[in-house]
């Protein structure tokens, strides 16, 4: 599952740029880039910040990632 792609999709659906999400969550731009590109998996605390700004639950992000971007086997 690709949590980063799910976050990117939700961010874009909310009409937020990366810069706006960074400003509202307090995470760094590079950290958001690495998350959205799938180079790192965010910690739970980071997921909670992102979910709060996107007005979704952390579980919504995970469900989207599992259904839209399943792990290749």
Q: For 31-57, write each residue's pLDDT tens digit.
A: 999 999 999 999 999 999 999 999 999
Looking at residue 62, its pLDDT comes to 95
Looking at residue 1, its pLDDT comes to 79
Is residue 72 predicted with pLDDT exceeding 70?
Answer: no
Q: How far apart are CA 19 and CA 70, in angstroms?
A: 27
Give the pLDDT mean for 52-71: 93
In a domain, 27, yes or no: yes
Give the pLDDT mean for 12-31: 97
List the CATH number of the domain containing 54. Answer: 1.10.260.40
In a domain, 73, yes or no: no
Q: How far apart are CA 59 and CA 23, in angstroms?
A: 23
Range of the domain at 24: 3-68
In a domain, 30, yes or no: yes
In a domain, 24, yes or no: yes
Number of domains in the chain: 1
Is residue 73 predicted with pLDDT exceeding 80?
Answer: no
């Amino acid at each position: 599952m690709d949590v980063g792609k799910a976050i990117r999709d939700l961010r874009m659906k909310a009409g937020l740029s990366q810069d706006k999400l960074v400003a509202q969550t307090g995470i760094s731009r590079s950290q958001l880039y690495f998350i959205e590109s799938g180079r790192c998996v965010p910690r739970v605390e980071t997921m909670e910040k992102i979910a709060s700004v996107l007005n979704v639950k952390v579980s919504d992000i995970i469900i989207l990632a599992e259904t839209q971007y399943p792990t290749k086997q």
